Structure 1
Amino acid sequence: MGYREYRGEEITVYFDKDMCQHAAECVKGLPEVFNVKAKPWIAPDEAAAKHVSEVINRCPSGALKYKI
């Protein structure tokens, strides 16, 4: 699988576009972190690591992972 890495100060987010089901839990949950109009589209430092991990845990496809 091809996870792409987005590093922040407290959390690193991994995203696999091939697994994504586009449920948009991430975009709805933390639009300041997961912004499809921005480049890069994941900005882990725009919210507390705790909140980022909570939103990632709601991802139904497993396309998003994290490491604190």
Structure 2
Amino acid sequence: MNKEYSNGEIIIKWQPKLCQHFGICVKSLPQVYKPKESPWIIIENASSEELKAQVSNCPSGALTYTLIK
């Protein structure tokens, strides 16, 4: 099941079936990605610009984003 996380400016969509490299997320933004917590993405802990940059580096395409107008 896909999950979405929003901070009011950006929506991050996570597709767990595609996720293979979550360690990259954790290393890039450890304040946002906390695999031992639920929810594991705490989007409020980074700026929208930081989130866009990190999601753009997702090697598997499991993370994507949409900007809210």
TM over 0.5: yes
Q: TM-score band, normalised by the shorter chain? A: 0.7 to 0.9
Q: Between the two proteins, what is the percent identity of the paired residues?
A: 37
Runs of 4+ residues over 6 Å off in structure 1: none
Question: 1:50 corresponds to which letter in structure 2?
Answer: E
Gaps of 5+ in 1: none
Gaps of 5+ in 2: none
Tell me the secondary structure at the aligned position of residue 14 of structure 1.
strand
When the two structures are aligned, how many residues end up with a matched partner? 67
For residues 64 and 22 of structure 2, the distance between their equivalents in structure 1, rounded to whole angstroms, comes to 15
Give the TM-score taking structure 1 as reference length.
Answer: 0.87
8 Å CA contact retained: 2:21, 2:59: no
RMSD over equivalenced CA pairs, Å:
1.3
Give the TM-score taking structure 2 as reference length.
Answer: 0.86
Give the alignment of 1:1-68 within 5 angstroms. Answer: 2-68=1-67
